[in-house]
Amino acid sequence: MKHATRLTLVLAALVLAALPLALAADAPKAVGTWDAVASTPNGDLPSVIVIKQVDGALKAEIEIDGVSRVITDEKLEGDVFKMKVQYEGGVYDVEAKITGDTFEGTWQGGGAAGTLKAKRRP
């Protein structure tokens, strides 16, 4: 019985030791710095999106035309990253599918809509 208890404790310790490695391997594929371009009715609008993992949750920052904007409701559902961006007095919904180091998606808000493409910086 002592051998079984010791084996159980050793296995439990190994699982606990490996847990941070498993969580790191499952880190959201959205994390990184992305150079993005939104297609808008007024032409292309470049931006830089930085997505971090903070306390197990995603937190994004965006700079559009050199101005930081407020982002809320960041989430990753499978391969799809979603967020809300405050821009020019409105809130815009962004949804993009991540494939490796690129993502493509759409944005909508303020009576307009368009596409968004981005590439992760190395």
Residue 50 CA, chain-centre distance (Å), reads 8
Q: Answer yes or no: is 116 within a domain.
A: yes
Tell me the C-alpha distance between 45 and 54, whole Å.
28
Average pLDDT over residues 80-98: 96
Q: Report the pLDDT value the prediction gives residue 19, as an integer from 0 to 100.
A: 41
Tokens of 99: 């494939």
Q: Answer yes or no: is 82 within a domain.
A: yes
Tell me the C-alpha distance between 58 and 44, whole Å.
26
Kindly state the percentage of the chain with pLDDT values over 70. Answer: 77
Structural domain of 40? 28-120
Q: Answer yes or no: is 20 within a domain.
A: no
Tell me the C-alpha distance between 33 and 120, whole Å.
6
Backbone φ/ψ region at 7: left (φ over 0), alpha (ψ -120 to 50), beta: alpha
| Segment among 11-15, 33-37, 58-62 with least mean pLDDT | 11-15
Check pLDDT > 80 for residue 33. Answer: yes
- CATH number for the domain including 87? 2.40.128.120
Q: Answer yes or no: is 1 within a domain.
A: no
Average pLDDT over residues 33-46: 96
Report which of residues 12 and 57 the model is more confident about. 57
Local confidence band at 20 (pLDDT 50, 70, 90 cut-offs): very low
Tell me the C-alpha distance between 5 and 19, whole Å.
21
Query: For the chain, what is the domain count?
Result: 1
46 touches 23 (CB < 8 A): no
**Predicted TM-score (pTM) above 0.85:** no
58 touches 71 (CB < 8 A): no
Q: Answer yes or no: is 7 within a domain.
A: no
Q: Answer yes or no: is 44 within a domain.
A: yes
Check pLDDT > 70 for residue 64. Answer: yes
> What torsion, rounded to 10 degrees, do the Cα atoms 31, 57, 63, 120 define?
10
Q: Answer yes or no: is 18 within a domain.
A: no
